[in-house]
Amino acid sequence: MLEQNQFLVEKQDDICKIQVLPHIASAPLTLKFKDTIDEVLEKHKFKKIIFDLSKVEFVDSSFIGAIVYAYKNLDKLNGKICCVIKSATVNDRFLIPQLDKLFKIFPNMEDAIQYMKSI
């Protein structure tokens, strides 16, 4: 388990869980978030990533951009991402752009892990 101040990176078999700890996930956090994603992708070569946004109550477009970045990178490698979202506001921020057409969104971690294990 690796805590990088604002993110908790945890490995479970071939799945990497990245938990976002701050309540507001916007531009000031995005750069570090992208660095974390890069590390998980390039250094640890994970092909299954769960973004745990259960503590997040607001996301802006730059932060969503970082998740799209992970999706695009992994899609090329036949990898998968999914998100755990609890806040209705955050959920809307993913559903309005129809991001659920790109990757799955779950209300809890158990469902997300079960999905990742099934693919």
Partner 1 sequence: MNEGIKKLSRKSLEALIQAFEFISSPLEPDEILKIVLEQISNLLDAEAGSIFLINEKRNVLELKVATNLTQDEIEKIKIPIGKGLAGFVAEKDQLVNIHDVTKDERFYSNIDHITGFTTKSILTVPLKTSDKIVGVIQALNKKNGKHFDDEDEILITEFSRLVGLTLEKAWFLSQLIEKQTFEVDLTIASKIQESLLPKNELRIDDVLIKGFYKPARYISGDYFDFFVLNNDQILIVLGDAAGKGAQASLIMASVKAYLSAAIESKLDFITISNNLNKFLAVNTPLDKFITIFLGLINLKENKISYINCGHEPGLIVSENGEVEFLHSNNIIMGVLENFEYLPSEVSFSKNSFLFIYTDGVTEANDKFDNRFGNENLMKVIIENSKTPLKIFQKLPEAIQKFVGEKDQFDDITFIAVLRGENFLSNAHIEE
Footprint of partner 1 (CB under 8 A): 24, 27, 30, 34, 58, 60-62, 64-66, 68-69, 71-73, 96-99, 101-102
36 contacts 69 by C-beta, under 8 angstroms: no
Give whichever of 14 and 100 is closer to partner 1, judged by the CB atom.
100
**Residue 91: both structure tokens together:** 């959920």
| Cβ 99 to partner 1 shortest distance, Å | 7
Min dist CB 48 to partner 1, Å, is 18
Judged by beta carbon, residue 10 or residue 62, the one nearer partner 1 is: 62
Between 34 and 109, name the residue whose CB sits nearer to partner 1: 34
Q: How far is the CB of 7 from partner 1 (least distance, A)?
A: 16
The pair of three-digit structure tokens given for residue 4, joined into one six-digit string: 């990088």
Inter-CA distances, 111 with 77, 105, 107, 114, 118, Å: 23, 10, 8, 5, 11
3-class secondary-structure state, position 51:
strand
Q: Which is nearer to partner 1, 16 or 66 (CB)?
A: 66
What minimum distance in Å lies between the beta carbon of 52 and partner 1?
19
- Alpha-carbon distance of 49 to 109, in angstroms, equals 12
Taking alpha carbons only, the member of 17, 15, 16, 19 closest to residue 5 is 19
